Amino acid sequence: MNTVRDFRNDLLNRKEIVLSIDSDSNPGYARMQQECADHFKVEQERIVIKKVWNNFGSRKFFVEVFLYDSVSDKDKTEVKPKVKKEAKK
């Protein structure tokens, strides 16, 4: 796991990091969240994986990670999923 870009965004209280990883298949969001938590030694609730991509035919994957200072900072910034209304009977 190599760091390509590391930027501190003080306005949103987070670090914006782009990592490169060598892998045979797409590592996926859940696995990357776990590996980033282990690598940066923080809890998973503070990490948001925004994007995982590679160049076609390459075994090098890039991961865009947002690492928040606290869970409350994450909750203030990140978009929350919409809640569906219950159907009337």
Check residue 83 and give its pLDDT: 87
Residue 51 and residue 68: Cα distance in Å, rounded? Answer: 16
Question: Going by CATH, does the domain composed of 2-77 fall within 3.40.50.300?
Answer: no
Q: What does DSSP assign to residue 57?
A: T
Check residue 1 and give its pLDDT: 84
Check residue 50 and give its pLDDT: 93
Phi/psi at 31 (5° precision): -65, -40
What is the mean pLDDT for each group of 10 consecutive residues in the chain (89 residues)? Answer: 91 94 89 92 93 90 94 90 81
Check residue 87 and give its pLDDT: 78
Check residue 45 and give its pLDDT: 92
Phi/psi at 4 (5° precision): -90, -45
Domain ranges within the chain, ordered by starting residue: 2-77
